[in-house]
Amino acid sequence: MEKEPIKNHQDLKVYQMAFDAAMKIFELSKKFPVEERYSLTDQIRRSSRSVCANLAEAWRKRRYEAAFVAKLNDSEAEAAETQTWIEFAVKCNYLDVELGRELQRFLLLRGTLSKNKNIIFL
């Protein structure tokens, strides 16, 4: 069975996983306390969405290796930031430990992007 050609960033598995994680974080963060609205809630939503946005930008800049790698690095950095906010959410008892681990695993996949540029095309 032949793979469909990748036509845009939304066809990338890594983008789809990042998008799913960001949407899950959005839904879960709706239950965070109101006093976290302008801190933890805002930050975790922004950084998780930024992973996807940077992957989309990397896709558009794939013809220029340095720009492509820079955007992958930005995506990795946003994934790391999101992992940190998840850790805070777990420690503050806003997220269940196992759910936090599941979200962390989604984001760990992005930890090898800049080391292996080809992973984005899997």
pLDDT-derived band at 105 (thresholds 50, 70, 90) equals confident
**Average of per-residue pLDDT across 80-86:** 95
pLDDT at residue 121 in the model: 41
pLDDT-derived band at 119 (thresholds 50, 70, 90) equals very low
Tokens of 75: 């995506």
pLDDT digits (tens, 9 = 90+) for 20-36: 999 999 999 999 999 99
Tokens 């503050």 appear where? Answer: 92
Helices (H), the chain: 13-29, 42-60, 65-91, 97-108
**Average of per-residue pLDDT across 61-79:** 94
Burial call 91-104: b when 16+ CB within 10 Å, e when fewer? eeebbeeeebeebb
Greater pLDDT, 117 or 66: 66
pTM of the model as a whole = 0.84
pLDDT at residue 5 in the model: 84
What percent of the chain stands above pLDDT 90? 75
The whole-angstrom separation of Cα 95 and Cα 86 is: 8
Whether residue 25 contacts residue 41, with contact meaning beta carbons closer than 8 Å, is answered with: no
